[in-house]
Amino acid sequence: MTTPTNTSATRLATLTEGWRALLTEYPLLEPALVSLEPTVNRITIQAGGRQDPLDHLAELLLWAYTLEQVTARWWHTRDGHLDLTIHGRTAAGMAVKVYGAIPFDSCVGLVPLALDESEGVSLDEIYTLLGLLRDHHQALTVGVIA
Query: Using one digit for the tens of pLDDT, what is the confidence trace for 30-87?
Result: 888 999 999 899 999 999 867 799 999 999 999 999 999 999 999 999 999 999 999 9
**Strand partners for 44:** 35, 97
CA distance 43 to 30: 15
Domain of residue 61, residue span: 7-145
Mean pLDDT over residues 100-126, rounded? 94
Ramachandran sector of residue 98 (left: φ over 0; alpha: ψ -120 to 50; beta: rest): beta
75's CB contacts (< 8 A; 6+ apart) are 82, 83, 84, 85, 113, 116, 117, 118
| CA-CA-CA-CA torsion sign (116, 118, 124, 125) | negative
- What is the number of domains present in the chain? 1
Beta-sheet pairing, 95-103 with 118-121:
unpaired
Residue 95: predicted pLDDT = 95
Q: Tell whether 86 is covered by a domain.
A: yes
**Measured CA angle at 84 (ends 135, 44), to 5 deg:** 130
Residue 146: predicted pLDDT = 43
Mean of per-residue pLDDT scores for the chain: 88
Q: Tell whether 1 is covered by a domain.
A: no
Residue 6: predicted pLDDT = 59
Q: Tell whether 133 is covered by a domain.
A: yes
Q: Tell whether 104 is covered by a domain.
A: yes
Q: Tell whether 2 is covered by a domain.
A: no
Segment among 3-7, 25-29, 45-49, 70-74 with least mean pLDDT: 3-7
